[in-house]
Structure 1
Amino acid sequence: MVDHSNLAYPPRDGWDRAPWNRWSFQHVRELVPTAEVWRGRGPASDLPRAMRQIDEIPFDGVNGRSTVRRFLDETYTDGFIVLYRGAIVAERYMNGMTERTRHLSQSVGKSLIGILAGILAARGLLDTGAPLVRYLPELSDTAYRDARIDHVLDMTSGVAFDETYTDPFSDIAKIDVACGWRPRPDDGRNWPRTCWDVVLGLKKLEAEHGARFSYRSIETDVLAFACERAAGRRLPELVSEFLWQPLGAEESADYTVDEAGYALADGGFNATLRDYARFGEMLTRDGLFNGRQIVPAEWVQGCRFGDHDRFTGDYRAATPMGAYKRQFWHEDHRTPVLLCRGVFGQLIYSDPAHDFTAVKLSSWPDFRNNALLRETLAALNAIKHVLNKS
């Protein structure tokens, strides 16, 4: 019999914050409602192994000389995997994580929506140059009334949305309540009941559509709502059919859902380390994986090079030469490296030039930490260059 008397469960309000996130990111289904992303009945795709010793690879970190082993130990790692030339060369599970554990992706999941949009566009279901109101006519009463699909795809709409994670009354805090991650405060305010309510409440335009890049999670949700409306199906079904089954995922994934059943596209996706690696390897191979062209190569290639001139201010703190395009971050706008990034240290790294893919799942104590991100990128580049020399 399990003795529950000494188990400390995270609070309902704050389960996804430190220190609770060290446990909760691996146990999301025990905390909030979720919907399955079915892996299907087919066999798991092959991930060949060609294991290498990488722990003692040195690199210049933020605080001086370090090694991969120290980096993994000191950066709140839960899972870490590296693929080189299509084979797993390193795989680590830490902090109680196992090969079957589904780990919260946070905003890494945004990149799945960017790829899903490309798949739907290739099938003629979604026109990325079309006005949003073609698919979501209700947005005519919001600041999105004149925006296009590609504006939310690139996060260049001019709609005002406050992404301040630590402000309990910001727009992103409203998402936390609306998606079911937080209890609805009994403070007399008109808190939204669903994520769709949050979208419909965005009335302020603060810039011309297409004039600037501004990272706002709601843009991914608007894109996901358009994908659902265009395809006539819910997001977990679409991701299952067009991504998870074609990838040959080992395990089903899941999304957290709000009380209307909407799957939180901007950060509620959960999957295993190896299945994140399959998605990353598909990116590295320009959409080709498991014997299938899952998304057109041209779409993935179009994700790789964003407008660096729009990537200004604090966005350059960790990646000074970076950019953003189609729900992907770029390490350097002059290279084809794609980054899928999420708060608290979630990362998929795809470099087709070096045939290199890596995934790091973490539970940092901070939403964002530029020093830890720079440390991660330095470690991955060191591993990549050692492998490339061998």
Structure 2
Amino acid sequence: MSSDKTGPIGMQSTGAIIPREDWDRAPWNRWTFQHVRELTPTAPVWRGAGPASILPRAAQDLDRIAYTFDGEKRSIGGFLESSYTDGFIVLHRGAIVAERYMNNMTERTPHLSQSVAKSVTGTVMGILIGRGLIDPEALVTDYLPELDATAYRGAKVQHVLNMTSGVVFDETYTALDSDIAKVDVACGWKPAKNPDWPKTMWEVILGLKKKECEHGASFRYRSIETDVLAFTMERVTGMRLPDIVSRELWAPLGAEEDAYFTVDHAGYALADGGFNATLRDYARFGLLHAQHGFFNGRQIVPYEWIAATRQGDHEKFLGDYRNVLPKGAYKNQFWIEDASRRAYMARGVFGQCIYIDPDADFVMVKLSSWPDFLNETRAREVLAAIHAIKQVLSA
């Protein structure tokens, strides 16, 4: 690995040099999403000393399940082959019915989850809220008074959980000077492009001075909101995020393997997209939600918080977000497929997805390395495939 911070980093078994500037982009992401800790600093999320929780098996062949998408008849097997799949697992009634590893991934391989990390962070926030350590109706500045000098002044914790804060944050992934581009540098993923840009994630937050609307008015996807939540949890507990997640979630789940976060130059774990874990442990996280917060013999997340997470405000879910989720909503760092139902998702760019339907007792996890950040056609087909599988399993 090169020590030159502006040069290439990492090396595949093929001998190809991975550009530091584009390590998380295609075609490199087919390899790097399974090798993130070889490319950037990380902090472990300990699984705890206990045994791994048991996942029963009831194997079925799902590959031949047929569905129609955009007028074409397709199969689940073909979908997995054509959609840059790395890991795929389906659970029904608490048991694994299908588990597939592709693109050299194995059952012990941690995979970058991108914004699925937001849902992990949000879930831990729900645990702390249930314990009375954080009040979702309190102002963010009650916990982080430094933010009184930012656009977060007047925002409630719940506004941040729902990404309705009204703070200006440019999430354009392909823009070279967007706020999310500055996050890429501040979090330690990319080399500095401008000496005046923030050097840490905390500096990014402190630099957000503009509002685009009143707090609570409408949903707008802002990755930085999750980091505001994480700093709030760290301030309240006196612990770093990886240790909070280990104590409150990963160890109680009975995870099979340690997880890990990427960290910035100040050692802060990237709550909005730096979480890495194995396929089956993501499945355990999905089952925790499908089972109303109860898993591995205990109520890990308050039932009331899980129930509230499934109830979003569709009227605040506007614009292009409706292209994939025409009846959707966003609540507590999760995407709700249909605001009139209870199915919801953790989603991340480049095709990461944990789909949870408590009414069907169904969980599906798909880890991917798409060639593009966002692709509405691919996202809609993921949902079409999910619905086809659910229909067969529920018959």
Q: Same fold (TM over 0.5)?
A: yes
> Which amino acid is 1:105 matched to?
S
Measured against aligned partners, the alpha-carbon deviations of 1:235-263 in whole angstroms (never above 9, x if no partner) come to 00000000000000000000000010100
Q: Does the 8 A contact of 1:129 with 1:149 survive in 2?
A: yes
> Which amino acid is 2:288 matched to?
M
> Which amino acid is 1:222 matched to?
V
In structure 1, how many angstroms separate the alpha carbons of the residues matched to 2:247 and 2:176?
A: 37
1:231: Cα distance to partner?
1.2
Aligned counterpart, 2:26: 18
Quick check: 1:318 aligned with 2:319?
A: no
Q: Does the 8 A contact of 1:62 with 1:374 survive in 2?
A: no
* Residue number among 153, 156, 166 corresponding to 1:145 in the alignment: 153
Measured against aligned partners, the alpha-carbon deviations of 1:163-216 in whole angstroms (never above 9, x if no partner) come to 00000110000000000000012x4x4111100000000001111000111000
Aligned counterpart, 2:172: 164
Aligned counterpart, 2:286: 280
RMSD (Å) for aligned C-alpha atoms: 1.1
1:62: Cα distance to partner?
3.2
Quick check: 1:364 aligned with 2:370?
A: yes
Aligned counterpart, 1:66: 74
Quick check: 1:247 aligned with 2:253?
A: yes
> Which amino acid is 1:289 matched to?
F
Equivalent positions of 1:72-111 (< 5 A) are 72-111=80-119
Aligned counterpart, 1:37: 45
1:126: Cα distance to partner?
0.8
In structure 2, how many angstroms separate the alpha carbons of the residues matched to 1:111 and 1:5?
A: 33
In structure 2, how many angstroms separate the alpha carbons of the residues matched to 1:385 and 1:75?
A: 21
1:112: Cα distance to partner?
0.9
* Residue number among 308, 314, 317 corresponding to 1:302 in the alignment: 308
Q: Does the 8 A contact of 1:79 with 1:94 survive in 2?
A: yes
In structure 1, how many angstroms separate the alpha carbons of the residues matched to 2:147 and 2:82?
A: 45
In structure 1, how many angstroms separate the alpha carbons of the residues matched to 2:332 and 2:70?
A: 29
Quick check: 1:329 aligned with 2:349?
A: no
Aligned counterpart, 1:383: 389
* Residue number among 218, 221, 225 corresponding to 2:227 in the alignment: 221
Quick check: 1:340 aligned with 2:353?
A: no
Q: Does the 8 A contact of 1:62 with 1:371 survive in 2?
A: no
In structure 2, how many angstroms separate the alpha carbons of the residues matched to 1:229 and 1:60?
A: 49
Percent identity (aligned): 64
In structure 1, how many angstroms separate the alpha carbons of the residues matched to 2:70 and 2:168?
A: 34
SS at 1:226 equivalent:
helix
> Which amino acid is 2:354 matched to?
I
In structure 1, how many angstroms separate the alpha carbons of the residues matched to 2:312 and 2:68?
A: 27
Residues 97 and 137 (structure 1), Cα distance of their counterparts in 2 relative to 1, 3 Å cut: same
Aligned counterpart, 1:230: 236
Measured against aligned partners, the alpha-carbon deviations of 1:35-63 in whole angstroms (never above 9, x if no partner) come to 00000110000001110011000011235
Residues 258 and 4 (structure 1), Cα distance of their counterparts in 2 relative to 1, 3 Å cut: closer
Q: Does the 8 A contact of 2:12 with 2:31 survive in 1?
A: no
Aligned counterpart, 2:8: none
SS at 2:43 equivalent:
strand
Aligned counterpart, 2:265: 259
In structure 2, how many angstroms separate the alpha carbons of the residues matched to 1:225 and 1:5?
A: 38
Aligned counterpart, 1:204: 210
Which structure 1 segments of 5+ residues have no match?
Answer: none
Which structure 2 segments of 5+ residues have no match?
Answer: 1-10
1:284: Cα distance to partner?
0.2
> Which amino acid is 1:381 matched to?
H
Aligned counterpart, 1:176: 184
Residues 126 and 5 (structure 1), Cα distance of their counterparts in 2 relative to 1, 3 Å cut: closer
Aligned counterpart, 1:293: 299
1:312: Cα distance to partner?
1.0
> Which amino acid is 2:205 matched to?
V
In structure 2, how many angstroms separate the alpha carbons of the residues matched to 1:26 and 1:61?
A: 30
SS at 1:88 equivalent:
strand
Aligned counterpart, 1:132: 140
1:88: Cα distance to partner?
0.1
> Which amino acid is 1:31 matched to?
L
Give the 4+ runs in structure 1 shifted more than 6 A: none
1:6: Cα distance to partner?
4.8
Q: How many residues are treated as equivalent by the alignment?
A: 385
Aligned counterpart, 2:7: none
In structure 2, how many angstroms separate the alpha carbons of the residues matched to 1:130 and 1:222?
A: 14
SS at 1:50 equivalent:
coil
In structure 2, how many angstroms separate the alpha carbons of the residues matched to 1:206 and 1:377?
A: 32
> Which amino acid is 1:149 matched to?
V
> Which amino acid is 1:78 matched to?
D
